[in-house]
Amino acid sequence: EAGVAQSPRYKIIEKRQSVAFWCNPISGHATLYWYQQILGQGPKLLIQFQNNGVVDDSQLPKDRFSAERLKGVDSTLKIQPAKLEDSAVYLCASSRGQGAAEAFFGQGTRLTVV
């Protein structure tokens, strides 16, 4: 089966600019996650979708970050305006969302804010 697809792989922007990341999860996976991973740290959950509804966005900085999942499939994560501390790898993952399921991760988007 095809894995989780993310694009772009790399992005360099100036502070105060906006940026968007795209994710296509594994077909049939109900649950989709966006994580932020700062160098040397573990992934931090930003937002969790179940189908096209938000389950948890408690750690999403809503003044600058937004995310949507259209028709319960693809998802986009946007940052506007970006800050230097947003430099990180943004990982998308999906899971079946039932039973004892594993999460499948994309390769991530490495964002550098200068």
Structural tokens at position 13:
């922007």
Q: Answer yes or no whether residue 24 interacts with other proteins by CB under 8 A.
A: no
Q: Answer yes or no whether residue 35 interacts with other proteins by CB under 8 A.
A: yes
CB of residue 87 vs other proteins: minimum separation in angstroms? Answer: 15
CB of residue 71 vs other proteins: minimum separation in angstroms? Answer: 20
Restricting to residues 38-77, name those near other proteins by CB under 8 A. Answer: 41-45, 48, 50, 55-56
C-beta of 11 vs 106, nearer to other proteins: 106
C-beta of 56 vs 68, nearer to other proteins: 56
Q: Exposed (0-12), middle (13-18) or buried (19+): which is 110, by Cβ within 10 Å? A: middle
Give 71-91 as a DSSP string: GGS-EEEEESS--GGG-EEEE
Q: Which residues pair with 77 in a beta bridge?
A: 21, 67
Q: Answer yes or no whether residue 100 interacts with other proteins by CB under 8 A.
A: yes
Which residue pairs, CB below 8 angstroms and at least 24 apart, start in 54-59? 55/31
Q: Distance between CA 91 and CA 73 in Å, rounded?
A: 16
Residues that bind other proteins (CB under 8 A): 4, 31, 33, 35, 41-45, 48, 50, 55-56, 91, 93, 95, 97-98, 100-108, 110
